[in-house]
Amino acid sequence: MNTRVLIILALIIAALAGWFFTKQGDIEPPVSIAPTDVDYEATDIQAVQTNEQGETEYELNAESLTHNPVTNQDEMSGVTMNWEPSDEQRYRIQAGTATINQQTGELQLSGGFTLISEDKADSNIAPIQVSGQILKGNTKSRQVYSDKPVKVVQGMNSFDASSMKANLETGEYEFGQVAVSFMPPERQDQALF
């Protein structure tokens, strides 16, 4: 082979390699290293909150937790909370995500929630289960509410409501625009005599 052809071929290969290198050398999008709003992060959380008398108020389990110092809120995912705000009531709350402010007690559950209420004094009463998309409340005032639709189930009974308010200390609920489906048993004709 002619040396001139080999030199031209080598220059073409070098030009292609240079072009390829310059195109592959760019990082898109450029990496920016900036401070985050996260103060600390943790996974597999198990926490206990006590009241002023040192009694357990609630137990909390979460898959992950991040603390945002700007908003002073703990942001959690995969949340399960066992809450006993009084001697009569016990609650189990599950949610996809939750934010809580430890100083004010403000709480917001989102990504779907389930609130199960049990009467500690009478185990014969079926638990009340409330489920919906968003639940807000305050752990200090022991009040929760949802201005989004909720579904309520207790034993064989169920209904839908457009909103809900609850005092978890007393176990009192208030529902807005309740929709109930009533299915009476089938009629069975029997002779009286």
Q: Could you read off the pLDDT of 53-99 as tens digits, one per residue? A: 887 878 888 898 888 777 778 888 998 988 887 777 788 989 999 88
Contacts with 23 (C-beta within 8 Å, 6 or more apart), sequence order: none
The answer to pTM > 0.75 is no
Residues 13-21: what's their mean pLDDT?
A: 81
CATH fold of 40-176 reads lipopolysaccharide transport protein A fold (2.60.450)
- Domain coordinates in residue numbering, the chain: 40-176
